[in-house]
């Protein structure tokens, strides 16, 4: 009762990275609140799930393993998650802001009438005093996310309804295995108890999975280009540098909109969130909508003709000059070394 729950998203029996990131965050929140961390995994033929979630800190694994739960369908998943939540009354419930999480979490929150903050970038525990009533609340979940086109960072609290529910963007939180893994208690869910015949009206007849081939989320090095790169042709030098460094090419929205590169490479609020070891920003001004997607990078190098470019505030190293001259020099250097 009143524990922290994380919805474990699975595809083909494999756990989504964002679920492991949420377990790491959930462990931190549960320790702060002095409660348990419970993982809720739905799917079919889920193997070694207890070991996986135990490595990321779960005390309990709710295992709903049934042919009706894979691939994902809205109604049966909603029925199982709501059924468990109604019985267990979590204080916090976290979902990845993936296509599945974005579909499922609003259904669950509206069924439970609990409220939901979508697309959070940070979660912390804090106290709150209501300005109108003067009533004080302890240990609420601060659900933090960009709002108004990224112009402000909003902190949202839900004092009165439970669970406090949030979806969290992929890649914004660390995923970290415990040194001493947990051995979670496994609770097998009787799926038939929750899923009615009417939840099974949607039948999946065929699935077409498109491999996009570009995954910058897990790249250790990202060489990102902005509008200042000037053209699609100039992006070739970014690919050459990224290849030499064992990385991937990222981009700002302005560069994507100008057709310099593919949308799958866009970093930021409406793109991908990345946390590479090295981020080289070439001709990127550093607007908040962009930096929201890369400010967790370990080391940032900014190459910009403008010494006052906002990206410089995020940079560990600033090179003031044209990327069209600096990048070829870097390529030459790394080819020789």
- For residue 303, the minimal CB distance to ligand FAD (Å) is 6
Q: How far is the CB of 157 from ligand FAD (least distance, A)?
A: 24
Whether the CB-CB separation of 101 and 95 falls below 8 Å is answered with yes
Residue closer to ligand FAD (CB basis): 117 or 285: 285
Residue reference for tokens 């302890």: 138
Least Å distance between CB 220 and ligand FAD? 21
Cβ-based nearer residue to ligand FAD, 62 or 279:
279
Q: Would you say 43 or 293 has its CB closer to ligand FAD?
A: 293
Nearer to ligand FAD, 111 or 287 (CB): 287
Give the separation between CA 330 and CA 337, rounded to whole angstroms.
Answer: 11
Query: CA 264, CA 60: separation in Å to the nearest integer?
Result: 36
Reduced to 3 states (helix: H, G, I; strand: E, B; else coil), residue 250 is strand
Of 43 and 226, which CB lies nearer to ligand FAD in the complex structure? 226
CB of 75 to ligand FAD, least distance (A): 32
Min CB(274)–ligand FAD separation in Å = 11
**Three-state secondary structure call for residue 96:** strand
Q: Which is nearer to ligand FAD, 6 or 323 (CB)?
A: 323
**What stretch of H or E contains 290?**
helix 288-291
- How much is the CA Rg of the chain, to the nearest whole Å? 22
User: In terms of CB distance, is 300 or 323 closer to ligand FAD?
Assistant: 323
| Residue 192 CB, nearest approach to ligand FAD (Å) | 43
Backbone angles phi, psi at 21, to 5 degrees: -65, -40
The residues of the shown chain that bind ligand FAD, judged by CB under 6 A, are 149-150, 226-228, 252-255, 266-271, 283-285, 287, 289-290, 293, 303-306, 309, 322-324
> Taking the complex as a whole, how short is the minimal distance between the CB of residue 271 and ligand FAD, in angstroms?
4
Cβ atoms of residues 139 and 127 within 8 Å:
yes
CA distance 78 to 109: 10
> Who's near 135: CB < 8 A, 6+ residues apart?
129, 159
Q: How far is CA 46 from CA 6, 23, 136, 163, in A?
A: 16, 17, 43, 26
- How many Å separate Cα 78 from the centre of its chain? 21
């Amino acid at each position: 009762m009143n524990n922290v729950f994380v919805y474990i998203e699975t595809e083909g029996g494999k756990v989504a990275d964002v679920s492991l990131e949420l377990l790491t965050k959930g462990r931190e929140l549960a320790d702060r609140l002095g409660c348990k961390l419970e993982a809720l995994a739905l799917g079919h033929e889920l193997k070694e799930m207890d070991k996986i979630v135990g490595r990321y800190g779960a005390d309990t694994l709710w295992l709903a393993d049934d042919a009706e739960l894979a691939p994902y369908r809205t109604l049966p998943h909603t029925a199982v998650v709501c059924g468990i939540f109604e019985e267990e009354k979590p204080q916090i419930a976290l979902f990845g802001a993936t296509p599945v999480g974005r579909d499922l979490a609003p259904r669950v929150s509206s069924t439970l009438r609990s409220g939901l903050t979508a697309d959070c970038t940070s979660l912390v525990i804090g106290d709150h005093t209501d300005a109108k009533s003067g009533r004080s609340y302890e240990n609420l979940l601060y659900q933090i996310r960009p709002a108004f086109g990224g112009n402000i960072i909003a902190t949202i609290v839900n004092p009165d309804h439970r669970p406090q529910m949030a979806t969290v963007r992929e890649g914004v939180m660390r995923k970290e295995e415990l040194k001493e893994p947990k051995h979670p208690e496994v609770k097998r869910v009787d799926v038939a108890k929750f899923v009615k015949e009417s939840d099974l009206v949607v039948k999946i007849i065929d699935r077409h999975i498109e491999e996009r081939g570009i995954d910058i989320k897990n790249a250790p090095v990202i060489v990102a280009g902005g509008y200042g790169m000037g053209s699609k042709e100039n992006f070739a030098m970014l690919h050459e540098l990224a290849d030499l460094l064992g990385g991937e090419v990222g981009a700002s929205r302005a560069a994507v909109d100008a057709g310099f590169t593919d949308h799958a490479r866009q970093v930021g609020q409406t793109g991908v969130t990345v946390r590479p070891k090295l981020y080289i920003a070439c001709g990127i001004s550093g607007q908040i909508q962009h930096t929201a997607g890369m400010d967790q990078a370990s080391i940032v190098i900014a190459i910009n003709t403008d010494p006052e470019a906002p990206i410089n505030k995020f940079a560990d190293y600033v090179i003031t000059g044209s990327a069209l001259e600096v990048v070829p020099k870097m390529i030459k250097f790394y080819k020789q070394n």
